Chains A and B, each alone.
Chain A
Amino acid sequence: MFGLTTHLQNKRRKERRVSFLLGCLTLCLVLPIAFIVGVLLFKGLPAICWEFLAADPIRGMTAGGIFPAIIGTIYLVLLSLLFCVPIGVIAAVYLSEYAADNWFTRAINLAIVNLAGVPSIVHALFGLGAFVLFLKFGTSLLAASATLAVMNLPVVITATRESLEAVPRQFREACWNLGATRWQAIRYVVLPNSLPGILTGVIFAVSRAAGETAPILFTGAVFYKAELPQSILDQCMALSMHLFTLSTQVVGVPEAFPYGTALVLVGIVFAVNTLSIALRFYFRTHRKW
């Protein structure tokens, strides 16, 4: 009674085998990432020094640093967030809290899903047509970050909607039953509880805005421009673009330079992600249901 039967032994053996297999597969998933980071560190770290981070590129980019590109990327990301986060969150709140379920909102939803699947080079062409030429922003920081913002809108909208819908309906009803308006329920109960999800969307937006090259290629990023942008109508350098230039367009670049640039780019994205994850963790541990 209660002893170990052969059948049970077999089951246990199988259990161990399955968990080993799943563990191996997970490892396979992590390996490429570890490999990439390893190569970047190994080849790029020698390039990283104060001068590389804080100086302008000189001698046809074969020496000096990447300072203008770092600043350019930071400007691009911040400015694009400034456009897409408020618009995305407002659109999401409208769509999931106010809009009636009719053909019009369904069409909008479909458009958002499709917009998320549009390749970034198409966004680039759109940005060129709409912002650079039609709105006459010229190739500028403004046009480039507006293009990035359009590219990231579906990400922010979708993430926000999902997190709004994760807030149980009973909380809204409790608010309404106390005579709160829709907006008051959203403002005091729904939005505070969906912040972690919205942050997830923003993390994604940051990574994409920092990493994508195509959307800024025609709209505002340049190969070389030592002085920092003075206004949002200036052009700027950007890390992703600079990496592309160093790897393919210039001869005589020290091997460590592109890897160093990639390392900085990955480092910035990593730092932002870590910050957002920390914030999400903070919100989650302070969440009240």
Chain B
Amino acid sequence: MSENLAIFTENLNLWYGSFQALKNINLSIHQGNITALIGPSGCGKSTFLRCLNRINERISSVRVSGAIRLFGHDIYGQEVTLEELRKDVGMVFQRPNPLPLSIYENVMFGYTTHYARRSYTQTELDVLVESSLKKVHLWEKLKDNLHDSALGLQLEAQQKLCIARLLPLKPKLILLDEPCSALDPTGTSSIEELLLELKGEYSIVIVTHNMAQARRVSYESIFMLMGEIIEQGSTAEMFLTPQNEKTAQYIEGRFG
């Protein structure tokens, strides 16, 4: 039954030491959509995303209980390797974090670390870089400077590059944690357009503090508060007629 769900969690709890950051999260998110995760600061949105590729485990105080299934597969299963999981679950952060390498190497980094050197040719890499950068509309701008440092790019281009470098790995799920909060309005709207183009091919979850953004890009929305899911539903309905009093207050901007 969870087969056609991108994300399915059951009684997911997470503790940082003795502080419980996620409480009994039960979620089902369908494939091929953009889902917005909203809620006030500190309610556990980033923590939840970081559960999905198990990057939280690098923090020694973290303890997790409950089940997470992505595309029907238990991510805590015996045969799951973190490398393969993170290949399928791409993550984009609030501050663009390109690696201190060239633009070309950034786009290829995931790919070249996952596949043995013998299994691809230089031409194949070139083709992959071109198609990935084209998908995020950076190709025309950068095609002559592929070997410049990625850290010299403007923030908007850096953020797009951070999306582009996920694509050669063909992720199924892309998680974006406030991807636009370091960008200006132009940058924001071009990232939003990009997400709308990518939807369908990928399932996307975006954390945002920008209600207008959630309405523009997402099909479904999830409202979190103090580590709990308060409400989940179609974005159009939730923003028009929120079921829960707290959701209504948050959306109207009365707290958070």
Interfacial residues, chain A to chain B (CB-CB below 8 A): 100, 170-171, 173-181, 184, 188-189, 193, 287-289
CB atoms of A174 and B86 under 8 A apart: no
> How distant is A199 from chain B, measured CB to nearest CB, in Å?
18
Please, how many angstroms separate the alpha-carbon atoms of A180 and B114 in the complex?
Answer: 7
CB atoms of A179 and B58 under 8 A apart: no
The stretch of B30-38, B96-104, B227-235 in contact with A is B96-104
CB atoms of B86 and A178 under 8 A apart: yes
Known: A178-B169, A179-B113, A179-B169. A288 touches B53 (CB 8 A): no
Known: A179-B113, A179-B169. A171 touches B99 (CB 8 A): yes
> How distant is B1 from chain A, measured CB to nearest CB, in Å?
28
Residues of B within 8 A of A288 (CB): 100-101, 149-152
Please, how many angstroms separate the alpha-carbon atoms of A171 and B110 in the complex?
Answer: 13
CB atoms of A189 and B101 under 8 A apart: yes
CB atoms of B113 and A184 under 8 A apart: yes
Residues of A within 8 A of B169 (CB): 178-179
> How distant is B168 from chain A, measured CB to nearest CB, in Å?
10
Known: A173-B55, A288-B149, A288-B151. A180 touches B110 (CB 8 A): yes
Q: Apart from A178-B90, A179-B87, A179-B113, what are 8 other A-B pairs with CB-CB below 8 Å?
A: A100-B60, A170-B95, A176-B58, A179-B83, A179-B114, A188-B101, A193-B100, A288-B149
CB atoms of B109 and A180 under 8 A apart: yes
> How distant is A277 from chain B, measured CB to nearest CB, in Å?
22
> How distant is A102 from chain B, measured CB to nearest CB, in Å?
11
Q: Is the interface of B mostly helix, strand, loop or mixed?
A: helix
Residues of B within 8 A of A193 (CB): 100
Classify chain B's interface size: 20 to 34
B69 within 8 A of A: no
Q: Mark B66-87, 1 if CB is under 8 A from A, else 0.
A: 0000000000000000111111
B165 within 8 A of A: yes
Residues of A within 8 A of B152 (CB): 288
CB atoms of B109 and A178 under 8 A apart: yes
Please, how many angstroms separate the alpha-carbon atoms of A289 and B165 in the complex?
Answer: 19
Please, how many angstroms separate the alpha-carbon atoms of A247 and B82 in the complex?
Answer: 65
> How distant is B177 from chain A, measured CB to nearest CB, in Å?
11
Known: A176-B58, A179-B87. A171 touches B149 (CB 8 A): no
Complex partner residue of B165 from A178, A181, A188, CB under 8 angstroms: A178
CB atoms of A181 and B83 under 8 A apart: yes
Q: Mark B97-121, 1 if CB is under 8 A from A, else 0.
A: 1111100000001100110000000
Residue among B58, B84, B87, B99 with max Cβ neighbours from chain A (10 Å): B99
CB atoms of A175 and B99 under 8 A apart: yes
Please, how many angstroms separate the alpha-carbon atoms of A253 and B139 in the complex?
Answer: 73
Known: A178-B109, A178-B169, A179-B169. A189 touches B82 (CB 8 A): no
- Taking CB as reference atom, which chain B residue is nearest A169? B58
Complex partner residue of B97 from A100, A170, A179, A181, CB under 8 angstroms: A170
CB pairs A–B below 8 angstroms (17 shown): A173-B97, A174-B98, A176-B55, A177-B53, A177-B91, A178-B110, A178-B113, A178-B166, A178-B169, A179-B87, A179-B110, A179-B169, A180-B109, A188-B109, A189-B99, A287-B100, A288-B149
